[in-house]
Structure 1
Amino acid sequence: MQNPFQNGDNNEGPNGLPVPPNYATVKNENGDVRIAKVGFSWTVLWFNLIVPIFRGDWYNLLCMVGIEMGVLFGIYSLPTNNMVSYAMSVASVAFNLVWAGLYNLMYFRHLFNRGFKPATDRSKELLTRVGYLPKAMR
């Protein structure tokens, strides 16, 4: 199969298939492999809390829901209905942008806490360059 990406050294996918340059591959001791994008998550921007459900990322789902519920309960304590509806709209957009910017970092950090390590030198370099890899693993 011809590699559709510019550099030919990223055949980290299943059965040696190439992965895009902004994706990293991590593996644990049992041989479980996870491939995920590094950087801004457009899927989280559009689908918000559905993404961690499909990834089976229950820890980050509960963190996201807990933070959103805490803020939204605080908004509901505002004195007037006009303020509540405006604040809910602003909070919804703000949470979508915040989670889209942070989710992939949160996902990789949780995988590292569960014993996953970069599968290849290319993934390790990418994760180090963007600051996802903890200093203890560098």
Structure 2
Amino acid sequence: MQNPFGNGNNDDNNQNDPNNPTGLPIPPNFATVVNKENGQIRIAKVGPSFTALLFNLWVPIFRSDWYNLLCMAGVEIIAGMALSLGMGQPFQVAYTLGSYGLGIVWMLIYNMMYFKHLFNIGFVPADERSKELLSNANYWKEPKDKNE
């Protein structure tokens, strides 16, 4: 497969990276994580999630990230109720205003929430590039040795 993200005009079609478990070209700001127990592989962006800004609660649905979907929906409902009580406006108006504000918050933190949840359920970085990228963004901390 030809890599659209680099290698210039290299005519060699065998450009698969042996360290990349998917064999697909991955943009430089995306990390790959793998679950060692069942072999599942997830690829996601590290940094702000503009899709979360635009599509809000649809992003965790498309990623099958039910835990973060429930967390985000709960926060949005509570914020909408709090705004409707504080502003004296109908719930729909307050929920819409709160949703726009929370959209910016989700844009900034959703990808971090996604990766941290994956790490909690047994995923680890699949390669050194992903491990370095996740460590630099403070998403991943190397687990301490249990023998110490």
Instruction: Using structure 1 for the length normalisation, give the TM-score.
Output: 0.85
Structure with bigger gyration radius: 2
Tell me the distance in 2 between the aligned counterparts of 1:2 and 1:75. 51
Gaps in structure 1 of 5+ consecutive residues:
none
Gaps in structure 2 of 5+ consecutive residues:
8-14
Q: How does 1:27-106 map to 2 (within 5 A)?
A: 27-29=34-36, 30-78=38-86, 80-81=88-89, 85=93, 87-106=94-113
Q: Going by fraction, where is helix more abundant, 1 or 2?
A: 1
Runs of 4+ in structure 1 over 6 Å off = none
Tell me the distance in 2 between the aligned counterparts of 1:67 and 1:21. 32
Q: How does 1:93-132 map to 2 (within 5 A)?
A: 93-132=100-139
Tell me the distance in 1 between the aligned counterparts of 2:56 and 2:67. 15
Tell me the distance in 2 between the aligned counterparts of 1:64 and 1:79. 22
Shift in Å at residue 75 of structure 1?
A: 1.4
Contact 1:10–1:122 under 8 Å retained in 2: no
Q: Are 1:17 and 2:24 an aligned pair?
A: yes
3-state SS in 2 of match to 1:25: strand
Tell me the distance in 2 between the aligned counterparts of 1:43 and 1:119. 24
Instruction: Using structure 2 for the length normalisation, give the TM-score.
Output: 0.80
The superposition leaves residues 53-77 of structure 1 with CA deviations (integer Å, 9 ceiling, x where unpaired) of 1111000000101111111111121
Aligned-pair identity (%): 53
The number of residues matched between the two structures is 134
Tell me the distance in 2 between the aligned counterparts of 1:99 and 1:52. 11
Shift in Å at residue 118 of structure 1?
A: 0.2
Higher relative contact order (CA 8 A, sep 6+): 1
Shift in Å at residue 136 of structure 1?
A: 2.6
Contact 1:10–1:20 under 8 Å retained in 2: no
Contact 1:45–1:96 under 8 Å retained in 2: yes
Distance 1:73 1:4, change over 3 A: same
